[in-house]
């Protein structure tokens, strides 16, 4: 438990480094370290980067979330994430409306939508158009309609330049984003990471989700591999 508490303190220290201009020496003392050197050593051991590098956005941080007690202890497994700031950017793709029914396997109909996009050549078209910072195809949870209990879900790729007539444009404003690693087979790993984000990460960190559509970035072509690497992007404030 003591080790987990130390990891939790370093999680909070990483959060402050990313969101404030607090001096590293002040953070060292605040989180119980006798010297900046001992703080930097412990920080690097957990996060793989020095505090100075973390402040510059280098590397990916590990978040040990606040423990919550249910049937078992949550928050013990680290969530790997990074925080990035991006100017406004554009993605292009297609979207469809789905009834919103929350299930453990995701929202019904979306998997079939992906299958259709892969079969009719749209996925290949989007791969060829992808010329932005984010690689792979994006699954965008664009809009929730409370009256109809539906969501608009888009499949897209980051692109700048001419847009084919058959594709829609999605605009994202300048924002700060938290980018979570998703490792493992997509059908379970993506759903489990979403649950962790809202049940553990947000309650344990000083951020709130911004009113900007979050999205999933499908980077690895082998979605069933235990080593599959993908991402979830959530705008924060």
Phi, psi at 227, each rounded to 5°: -105, 10
Residue appearing with tokens 């553990």: 200
Q: What stretches of the chain adopt beta strand conformation (E)?
A: 61-63, 68-69, 73-74, 79-86, 89-99, 137-145, 150-158, 168-172, 175-183, 215-218, 229-236
Domain ranges of the chain: 2-64, 86-236
Environment class of 198 (CB within 10 Å of its CB; exposed 0-12, middle 13-18, buried 19+): exposed
Residues with pLDDT less than 50, the chain: 1-2, 65-76
**Measured distance CA(96)–CA(116) in Å, rounded:** 12
Instruction: Look at residue 7 in the predicted model and tell me its pLDDT.
Output: 66
pLDDT single digits (tens) 46-57 = 778 888 887 777
Instruction: Look at residue 27 in the predicted model and tell me its pLDDT.
Output: 75
CATH class of 86-236: alpha beta
Residue appearing with tokens 């412990």: 42
Instruction: Look at residue 61 in the predicted model and tell me its pLDDT.
Output: 65
Looking at the domain 2-64, which fold is it?
A: Arc Repressor Mutant, subunit A (1.10.10)
pTM for this prediction: 0.69
């Amino acid at each position: 438990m003591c080790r987990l508490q130390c990891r939790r303190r370093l999680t909070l220290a990483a959060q402050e480094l990313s969101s404030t201009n607090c001096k590293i020496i002040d953070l060292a003392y605040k989180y119980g370290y006798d010297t900046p050197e001992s703080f930097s050593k412990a920080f690097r051991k957990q996060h793989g980067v020095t505090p100075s590098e973390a402040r510059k956005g280098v590397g990916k941080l590990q978040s040990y979330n606040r423990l919550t007690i249910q049937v078992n202890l949550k928050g013990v497994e680290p969530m790997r994430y990074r925080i990035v700031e991006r100017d406004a950017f554009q993605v292009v793709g297609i979207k469809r409306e789905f009834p919103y029914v929350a299930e453990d396997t995701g929202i019904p109909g979306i998997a079939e939508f992906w299958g259709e996009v892969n079969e009719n050549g749209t996925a290949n078209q989007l791969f060829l158009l992808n010329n932005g910072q984010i690689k792979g195809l994006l699954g965008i949870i664009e809009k929730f309609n409370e009256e109809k209990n539906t969501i608009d879900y888009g499949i897209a790729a980051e692109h700048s330049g001419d847009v084919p007539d058959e594709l829609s444009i999605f605009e994202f404003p300048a924002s700060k984003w938290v980018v979570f690693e998703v490792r493992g087979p997509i059908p379970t790993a993506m759903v489990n990471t979403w649950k962790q984000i809202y049940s553990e990460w947000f309650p344990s960190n000083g951020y709130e989700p911004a009113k900007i559509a979050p999205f999933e970035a499908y980077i690895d072509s082998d979605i069933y591999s235990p080593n599959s690497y993908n991402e979830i992007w959530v705008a924060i404030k």
